Homo-oligomer: A and B are copies of this chain.
Amino acid sequence: MKYETILQEIYIELKSLSITGNLTTSIPELSKVNPDKFGMHISTIDGQDFGIGDSNEKFSIQSVSKALTVALAFSFLDEEIWKRVGVEPSGSSFNSLIQLEYELGIPRNPFINAGAIVIADMLVTHLENPKQDFLDFIRMISGSPTIDFNLKVAQSEKDTRFRNAALTNFLKSFGNIHNDVETVLDFYFHQCSVEMTCKELAHSFFFFANEGKTKAGVQVLTQSQVKRLNALMQTCGFYDESGEFTYRVGLPGKSGIGGGIAALFPKNFVVATWSPRLNKKGNSELGMNALELLTTKTGMSVF
């Protein structure tokens, strides 16, 4: 069966689901989004591209960006980054401070907020113009020079920053933030505010499925490095629902509270979904269903 047909089937089946989730309330600017948006885009390694629904509409990628910042940090620091952040599932909420206290400021993994903030701190240290350089990086890997921050969203995150400010100060009290708290948070809020379409997001993640090479052929990471980051997305990409996503979908991926998910089948395809209604764990309810249908219908999962 062709991917085009499969996406159309999924689209129809999803319409019959009764969805109970709501928009995130944690960032006021994001609660203005139409909750009933749904888009899905698949890009295969052999060059096919199919989208459906609102797949060409921009949305806030939020924490999906954490996979991209860790990839960028990994590209110049390699295994060094694991001195300051772990590779284990956290077993707790995305913004929990509890483990951090028991584990003396070393976040469990780079996909929970604490870990992503440590990665942000690494980028602030290593990049000359951190925000611009990160923007250039994602424009390059996605092949979309128009991708940009949404400054209203970044500001909205800053205005409601208290939990993330708590995390960053807490990390700094353990010596695991090297730059100013404000500078790191500013970078982090901008990184989360990036907007992409499903198509752009799928293209941004292309190198994870393509042994480290972007759609345009740029080698961003080695084959071994992407394998490791894919492994990490598998165990940690969905906060305390990572096990559930792995169990139901069986693909490495990363979610965001804007309702986006990027997932991939190594050497085969990348897929991005967007639907802003979230389940209790903060992951896109329709997105998870769409991806479960995809692996069920194609029989393509890593397991």
Q: How far apart sit A91 and B107, CA to CA, in the bound complex (Å)?
A: 12
Verify if A88 is at the interface (C-beta below 8 Å from B).
yes
CB atoms of B163 and A169 under 8 A apart: yes
Q: How far apart sit A170 and B227, CA to CA, in the bound complex (Å)?
A: 36
Stretch in contact with the other chain, from A60-68, A140-148, A241-249, A271-279: A241-249
CB atoms of A227 and B303 under 8 A apart: yes
Copies of this chain, whole number: 4
Verify if A14 is at the interface (C-beta below 8 Å from B).
no
User: In the complex, which residue of chain B has the Cβ closest to the Cβ of A177?
Assistant: B162
**Which residues of chain A from 223 to 264 have a CB within 8 Å of any chain B CB?**
223-224, 226-228, 230-232, 234-236, 240-244, 246-248, 250, 252
Interface residues on A, range: 35 or more
Task: Digitize A156-169: 1 where CB-to-B-CB distance is under 8 Å, 0 elsewhere.
Answer: 00000111011111
CB atoms of B236 and A243 under 8 A apart: yes
Contact of A87 among B235, B243, B266, B303 (CB under 8 A): B243
Q: How far apart sit A150 and B174, CA to CA, in the bound complex (Å)?
A: 26
**Which residues of chain A from 13 to 57 have a CB within 8 Å of any chain B CB?**
none
Q: How far apart sit A243 and B110, CA to CA, in the bound complex (Å)?
A: 12
Contact of A252 among B108, B242, B248, B303 (CB under 8 A): B303
- 14 pairs, A vs B, C-beta closer than 8 Å: A86-B243, A87-B247, A88-B243, A89-B91, A91-B92, A97-B98, A97-B166, A98-B101, A162-B172, A163-B169, A165-B169, A227-B301, A231-B250, A302-B303
**Which residues of chain A from 208 to 223 have a CB within 8 Å of any chain B CB?**
223
Nearest-CB distance from A149 to chain B (Å)? 23
Nearest-CB distance from A35 to chain B (Å)? 24
User: In the complex, which residue of chain B has the Cβ closest to the Cβ of A108?
Assistant: B91
Contact of A231 among B173, B241, B247, B266 (CB under 8 A): B247
Q: How far apart sit A230 and B301, CA to CA, in the bound complex (Å)?
A: 11
Nearest-CB distance from A86 to chain B (Å)? 7
CB atoms of B173 and A162 under 8 A apart: yes
Verify if A181 is at the interface (C-beta below 8 Å from B).
yes
**Which residues of chain A from 77 to 111 have a CB within 8 Å of any chain B CB?**
86-92, 96-99, 101-102, 108-109
CB atoms of A90 and B88 under 8 A apart: no
Q: How far apart sit A144 and B86, CA to CA, in the bound complex (Å)?
A: 41
CB atoms of B163 and A242 under 8 A apart: no
